[in-house]
Amino acid sequence: MLKMKKISTLLLTSVLTLSLAACGSGGGSKDAAQPSAAPANSAAPTSAPASSNPQDDIQPITIKISHVVAENTPKQKGAVAMKDEIEKLSNGKIKVQVFPNSQLFGDKDEYQNLVANNVQFIIPDMAKLVGNDPGFNIPSMPFLFNSDKAAEGFWDGPKGQEIFKKLEKDGVLGMGFWPNGPKQITNNKRPIKAPEDLKGLKFRTQGGQVLEKVYATLGAGSVSIPFNELYTALQQGTVDGEENTFSNIESKKFDEVQKYTTVMGHTRVDYVLLTNTKFWNSLNDATKKIVEAGIKKGTEVARTEANALNEKAYQTLKDRKKTEIYVLSKDEIAKFRDALKPVYDEYTPIIGEDVIKDAMSRE
């Protein structure tokens, strides 16, 4: 796993090398497992590599990307940008299929299927990875990051990268941080304006001990439910509420089944783009360079789109008028911050004081 800046430099160099090579000035590395596609060329100097066109070395593979959210989200925009870049740079030799909306795998089974290489990329909400390392609770720590940029700085930095590395024992590689953004609270019972308003309500969470603690601290119950079952759970009253980003609330029409929304931004949905080592190690250099360029493009697009899509979705929710929106004032937010301090008391030692300190220092 490389830091984004390093990846950028590496990929820029790689793509330049590929373009130059495509003009006839270079040769690609050959994978012993791949048949040589280069025609014998008697006119070529004897010192020339076996294949003068790196396009010949690109493995004709199909890559599957699976995720659980709708089309109008930063995750889908990033995945499609990744697909387009890979297919463009490989002249269609590498095919990429993107499966949104849990069409291929849902929250419960996407990780195991990644490990088994039934899918080559997934982009889970980190709250769904907390069983692998408590560091994945970082986006669930109340009011920790002030912006997508602050979260990016942390996950691109050494502490964030160390947390991604914890997945390597499963044969899983963290290839990049993709933000979605701050979460807001929705529910069907009453407007939430103060910590006491949550008492006795039951919330769905994405999962994880910290989110459970957040609700318990506020006197509410919580249960983790997969994303693709959430609309029905809200509609049938299995839970009273949930927390999510504007783009997820709007694109899945949760406002149809949630009377109240409170703009709070207390926790975040943040993703890590994951692949598996079985797939990654099967790629030769020429193929890997193109996939890396796709990852770089997808990451850029997801990062650029996240905030804009949330803003747009917020406006759509206001226009649709199905859910009553309440925006907490600074003073009201301060009350929630105070009420949620016990979450830090309990989880700072578990996640690591150095990790929390690094995250808090990001702007």
Closer Cβ to ligand LMR, 272 or 356, answer by number: 272
Q: Which is nearer to ligand LMR, 184 or 248 (CB)?
A: 248
What is the CB neighbour count within 10 angstroms for residue 158?
A: 10
Binding mask 90-129 for ligand LMR (x = CB under 6 A): -----------------------------------x----
Q: Which of 145, 177, 227, 254 binds ligand LMR (CB under 6 A)?
A: 227
Residue 53 or 307 having the CB closest to ligand LMR: 307
Among 51, 52, 102, 180, which residue interacts with ligand LMR (rule: CB under 6 A)? 180
Number of residues in the chain = 363
Number of residues that bind ligand LMR (CB under 6 A): 9
Q: Binding marks (x or -) toward ligand LMR, 206..225, rule CB under 6 A?
A: x-------------------
Q: How far is the CB of 318 from ligand LMR (least distance, A)?
A: 21
Kindly state whether residue 244 participates in binding ligand LMR, applying the rule CB under 6 A.
yes
Q: Which is nearer to ligand LMR, 205 or 284 (CB)?
A: 205
The contact mask relative to ligand LMR for 53-92 (x = CB under 6 A, - = no) is ---------------xx-----------------------
Smaller CB separation from ligand LMR, 248 or 310: 248
Beta carbons of 204 and 221 less than 8 angstroms apart: no
- Phi and psi at residue 121, to the nearest 5°: -140, 135
Would you give the end-to-end CA distance of the chain in angstroms? Answer: 24
Nearer to ligand LMR, 293 or 317 (CB): 317
Which residue number, 125 or 212, has a Cβ lying nearer to ligand LMR?
125
Selected from 82, 198, 269, 302, the binder of ligand LMR by CB under 6 A is 269
Distances (CA, A) of 349 to 33, 298, 337: 48, 34, 19
Evaluate whether 181 touches 311 at the Cβ level (below 8 Å).
no
Residue 184, beta-bridge partner list: 244
Pairwise CA distance, residues 139 & 125, whole Å: 9
Nearer to ligand LMR, 160 or 207 (CB): 207
Q: Give the HSE-up count for residue 129: Cα atoms under 13 Å, Cβ half-sphere.
A: 28
Least gap, CB of 183 to ligand LMR (angstroms): 8
CB of 125 to ligand LMR, least distance (A): 3
Q: For residue 138, give every residue at least 6 positions away whose Cβ sits within 8 Å of its Cβ, in sequence order, or none.
A: 126, 144, 154, 160, 163, 270, 351, 355, 359
Closest CA to 252 of 68, 56, 62, 57: 68
What is the contact mask toward ligand LMR in residues 272 to 291, using x (rule: CB under 6 A)? Answer: --------------------
Instruction: Give how far Cα 354 sits from Cα of 124, 127, 350, 351, Å.
Output: 25, 20, 11, 9
The 135-164 site mask, x for binding ligand LMR (CB under 6 A), equals: ------------------------------
For 322, phi then psi, to 5°, come to -90, -30
Of the candidates 89, 95, 46, the residue with the CA atom closest to the CA atom of residue 290: 89
Q: How many CB atoms lie within 10 A of CB 27?
A: 18
Residue closest to ligand LMR (Cβ): 125
Give the nearest distance from C-beta 340 to ligand LMR in angstroms: 20
| Footprint on this chain of ligand LMR (rule: CB under 6 A) | 68-69, 125, 180, 206, 227, 244, 248, 269
